[in-house]
Amino acid sequence: MTRHYLDHNATSPVRPEVVDAVCDAMRRDGNSSSVHEEGRAARARVEAAREKVRKLVNAPVNGVIFTGGGTEAIHYALHGTAMNGSVKKIFVSAIEHAAVPGNAATTGLPVETVPAQPNGLVDLDALKAAVSKETEPFLMCLMLANNETGAIQPVREAADIVHDAGGLMFVDAAQAVGKIPVNYVMLGADFMALTGHKFGGPVGVGALVAGPNLPLAPVMRGGGHESNRRAGTHNVPAIVGLGVACDLAADSLSRAEEIAAMRDRMQAAAENTGARIWGKDVDRLPGTLCLTAPGFTGETQLISMDLAGIAISSGSACSSGKAKPSHVLSAMGCDAADASCGVRISLGWSSTGEDADAFCSEWPAAYDRAKAEAA
């Protein structure tokens, strides 16, 4: 059976060029902190990759801190600002990836949730009302693109509100980098997280982008790696692979209209069969489709599509094994019964028209069978 991979928001397939670069780096000797020739060569590969990341997201010079992935970057931003007392409270949007509220809860600081609107965007009026009461420095966490609906958040507007109130802005850009243009400076972010495996890079490598002179205590200590900001021997092969993925991101960005057209075909097929589409009235990632189908649980949809050779997910991959409704859909006003019938279909750099065709054929037929069985 031909398989059709429609779960790029969970992990996008690693690009062949990245595999080759990682394998080549693994064949080379040297610790990037060593001063001998092999060590200097390894360090040069790390710094070349750092520059590629910096250019892709317009990060400041010396602003890219390599991490073990997006979750570590989130942990570092939240705990690094909390540990040195530079913020006294954390605000989290109701639609953040679970890693954000999860890590916020362990900082020891008070945490307040900012609600979302039914269209999937953060409520800026609620944000302004909440932060205007603060008399001490705080951190606001808002993702750039939602991992379930694909809704692109008004980060620049939120950052202006936050900065006017004396706060700092953290942006989780894990789902956005490599799929839409991302400009750290224009977003108004103080801290920004990204990860390689969402756009064709290796799993297990990411970065935290931080502005110059911002208060950020290291949370991993030991050696002086990453300019004393993140201890631990560099994973040179993975970092090299991340750099290559950044080089190749232009290809995905150039295919945005094509990918969006495939997404829209799948959306039309689902809507014609009775599905509800979430986030469709706002700007979304080109390859993300989030739907609910009354009476057709997310788990049943996932299994039905898997048997038909199509990989999708029920919500975030990090929580898709948990039997509970999506917190993102719940924050948008979806009731628990309908939220349990939600799935996410996501395209990416390797997606083809045949992948979209397979969904347009198999998903409506599966939903029709489910409705007939329930009648």
- pTM of the full structure: 0.94
Of the candidates 23, 290, 318, 341, the residue annotated as catalytic is: 318
Give ranges for CATH 3.90.1150.10 in the chain: 4-12+253-374
- pLDDT tens sequence across 162-214: 999 999 999 999 999 999 999 999 999 999 999 999 999 999 999 999 988 88
Fold of 16-251: Aspartate Aminotransferase; domain 2 (3.40.640)
Burial of 247: CB neighbours in 10 Å, binned 0-12, 13-18, 19+: middle
**Is 318 in the active site?**
yes
* Residue 308 pLDDT > 90: yes
Burial of 136: CB neighbours in 10 Å, binned 0-12, 13-18, 19+: exposed
- CATH number for the region 4-12+253-374 comes to 3.90.1150.10
Give ranges for CATH 3.40.640.10 in the chain: 16-251
- pLDDT tens sequence across 82-129: 988 889 999 999 999 999 999 999 999 999 999 999 999 999 999 999
> For 69-91, what is the mean pLDDT?
94
* Residue 312 pLDDT > 50: yes
- pLDDT-derived band of residue 259, with 50, 70 and 90 as boundaries? very high
Q: What is the mean pLDDT of the chain?
A: 93
Q: Phi-psi region for residue 112, left (φ > 0), alpha (ψ -120 to 50) or beta?
A: beta
* Residue 320 pLDDT > 50: no
* Residue 323 pLDDT > 60: no
Nearest to 295 by CA among 345, 341, 364, 326: 341
